[in-house]
Amino acid sequence: MIKEFKKYIISIGIQSAVMHQRVEEIYQDCLKILPEKPKDIFVDEYIDSDGRRHFECLNFITPKVFISADNFISTKDYRLTSLIQPLYFLQIINTDYDLKKATKKSHLIIEARFAIAGRYTLKASRGNCDVLLNITKKYFIPRLDNI
* CATH number of the domain bearing residue 129: 2.30.29.30
Q: Is 13 exposed, middle or buried (0-12, 13-18, 19+ CB in 10 A)?
A: middle
Q: How many domains does the chain have?
A: 1
**Is the distance from CB of 44 to CB of 52 less than 8 angstroms?**
no
pLDDT band per the 50, 70, 90 thresholds, residue 145: low
Summarize the confidence of residues 62-90 as an average pLDDT.
Answer: 90
Domain range for 120 = 3-144
User: pLDDT tens digits, residue range 106-144?
Assistant: 999 999 988 776 788 889 999 999 999 999 999 888 888
pTM for the whole thing? 0.88
Return d(Cα 65, Cα 84) in angstroms, integer. Answer: 8
